[in-house]
Amino acid sequence: MIGGMATRKLTPAEMPEADHAFYGLVWAGTVLTERVDRALSKAHDLPVSWFEVMLWLASSDEPVAASVLGNSTMLSRSQVSRVLDALQARGLVSRTPSARDARSVEVALTAEGRRVFEEADATRRACLAPVFTDVLDQRDMEALSAVWRKLKAHKDA
């Protein structure tokens, strides 16, 4: 009897909708992040946390204040600082004193950083395609983006 019970799974209908939605969000984030982290680490020796910082830098035409990276990424300020140390040691980012604020440091991808980012981004996209971008249509993507914006807007409530 115990063996038979162990194979049974709860169905979403047996869980309140809000609980199922939250669990799904956590599950998807965890599984997809682990998948990307494995692919980037294997192909580029680049943990996903490093890639996330590079992604924000690559999307900006101007150097970015280190404090802005702390506010934009899912990393703490101390984690951002450690990631920037590691990226700088590999020659992938440069840090310069801010022309606008003497207390601030601005960060930018180096030419090598941009090259590594572009290769890693191609790896990330290929790794996510079969489990994310090829599975979801434009309406799904728009819905996820809308949900993400709502949740992020109320994160400090």
Q: What are phi and psi of 73, to 5 degrees?
A: -85, 175
Residue 8 has pLDDT above 80, yes or no: no
Cα angle: 137, vertex 138, 141; to 5 degrees: 90
Q: Domain locations in the chain?
A: 45-128
What would the mean pLDDT of 82-102 be, rounded to a whole number? 92
What would the mean pLDDT of 11-32 be, rounded to a whole number? 87
Question: Considering only CA atoms, which of 76, 92, 72 is closest in space to residue 84?
Answer: 92
Distances (CA, A) of 79 to 13, 40, 52, 86: 39, 18, 12, 11
Say what the pTM is: 0.81
Residue that wins the pLDDT comparison between 65 and 11: 65
pLDDT the model gives residue 110: 97
Distances (CA, A) of 89 to 6, 17, 86, 113: 50, 47, 5, 11
With a pLDDT cut of 90, the percent of the chain lying above it is 65
Q: What is the pLDDT of residues 108-125, one digit of tens each?
A: 999 999 999 999 999 999
Q: Which CATH number applies to 45-128? A: 1.10.10.10
Return mean pLDDT, the chain: 90
